[in-house]
Amino acid sequence: MSILVGKKAPDFTTQAVLANDEIDGAFNFAKATAGKYAVLFFYPLDFTFVCPTELIAMDHRMEKFNELGAVVVGVSIDSHWTHKAWRNTAIEDGGIGHVGYTLAADMNHAICQAYGVQSDGGLSGYAAGTAMRATFVIDPEGVVRHMVVNDEPLGRNMDEVIRIIEGYQFHLEHGQVCPAGWDKKKKAFTPADPAKLAAYLSANASDL
């Protein structure tokens, strides 16, 4: 796996199911996310077990992602038709319902390979060739600012994705850095100033 943080996010064009359940035969990621924050998240397969909990959790937070100006796109190696079938399967029957974001198809595995998250099997628990549980946060200039990969049996915390976007936006607005465990209710401090760091640690180290 290569580290993409600080680099341009690989662009792609593929078939996808949009939030309104329509098929887009030539969905272009860069065009869909131009000038906005983007959350690109990969998952192994449709109609599985941990995956639907993650996709539903993401959908439950779409109001907040919209508030932050973030476009969400999910990707697996399934076809767009399988995505559509999963969307149109009720949650109580193991489906995900009409999630409010795009699901992109990566049938030739080019997207997960470009992002370095195609599993080779091995000791990870993933089936070889599937996409790993990887999340990328991309800024409005198309630069990757965050990436994380979970092992196959461990679902992601989608609130952490929100925290990452909020933290980066806070940094850009205020010029401060966000310490461990930061959220909007907690203090930050100005970097490159030892006095500010000392004051922050003196007041907050016990709560870290």
Q: What residues act catalytically?
A: 51
* Cβ contact 40:75 at 8 Å: yes
Sign of CA dihedral 206, 155, 55, 7: positive
Rounded to a whole number of angstroms, the CA Rg of the chain reads: 18
Tokens of 115: 């992002």
First to last CA, the chain: 30
- DSSP SS3 for 155: coil
Give the sheet arrangement for strand 13-17, strand by strand. 23-28, 13-17, 102-105, 70-76, 37-42, 133-138, 144-150
User: H helices then E strands: how many in the chain?
Assistant: 7, 7
Phi and psi dihedrals of 48, rounded to 5?
A: -120, -145
